[in-house]
Amino acid sequence: MTYYSGSVAAVPAANRDAYLEHVRRAWPLMREQGVTRMVETWGEDVPHGKRTDFYRAVQAQEGEVPVFSWMEWPDRATCDAAFQRMMADESFPERIGEMPFDGKRMIFGGFAPLTADGTDRGAGWFQGFLLAVPADKRDAYASMAREAHEQMFAPNGCMGTFETWGEDVPRGKLTDMYRAVEAEDGEVVVFSWTAWPDRATYEAAGKAMEASMQGQEMPDMPFDGQRMMWGGFAPIFDSDRG
């Protein structure tokens, strides 16, 4: 079963080209390790939140941009074995090169697919999410996500909705995904994204969905929406596109 490595980093805007060069250098090395696809997206419409947001998640400094990324693996076993090899390979850091961002503030984790509706192949825009869901509400959350895609996102032009469930999310010394979403005991980190043909379609859909909710009460959600973070991201690298 497909498995994902999801991450969020803060990259200086001035280092965008250097970051892309770093990604292009990393891709063949990760492909050798078993990665089947690698996607990197650059924050272009990332709001600051009252309680949580992608900037605080990675302790972004002035002039830094949130980058939302993931790698696809054929299964978790391949992923786990690959990271063990990379950690043991003393030459790997030199081969991948210096990172044009502060890796100590990057947050990451391993995720199993929870729902996958539609496609994210060929998307020109992504909306990324990070949130915490109580473990005992896993099925309720999955049902809500599928319903949202069918009734709201897809009718407004969304290509696909993907929800992934945290299975190997480490605790960090400086930052981590649990702290990013202020996770409570018994909660699981969820890393998810929606795929759109372009930013214009995404923005029009947002306005249409907001208008459709006018005068209606917000439905009960199986998670604390106040701790969810989201943003709009432009793809800068997708290994499927070469």
Give the span between the Cα atoms of 177 and 167, in whole angstroms.
12
* pTM value > 0.85: yes
- Condensed to tens digits (0 to 9), the pLDDT of residues 5-39 reads 999 999 999 999 999 999 999 999 999 999 999 99
Average pLDDT over residues 156-181: 98
Give the domain ranges of the chain.
3-238
Q: CB-based contacts of 10: which residues, under 8 Å, 6+ apart?
A: 55, 58, 59, 60, 61, 64, 65, 66, 67, 101, 102, 105, 106
What residues contact residue 139 under an 8 Å CB cut-off, 6+ apart? Answer: none
Q: In CATH, what number does 3-238 get?
A: 3.30.70.100
Q: Which has the closest alpha carbon to 127: 161, 167, 177?
A: 161
Q: Please state, rounded to an integer, the average pLDDT across all residues of the chain.
A: 96
How confident is the model at residue 202, as a pLDDT? 98
In angstroms, the CA 129 to CA 50 distance is: 16
- Nearest-angstrom CA–CA distance, 73 and 62: 34
Q: pLDDT at position 217, please?
A: 76
Each residue of 51-91: pLDDT tens digit? Answer: 999 999 999 999 999 999 999 999 999 999 999 999 999 99
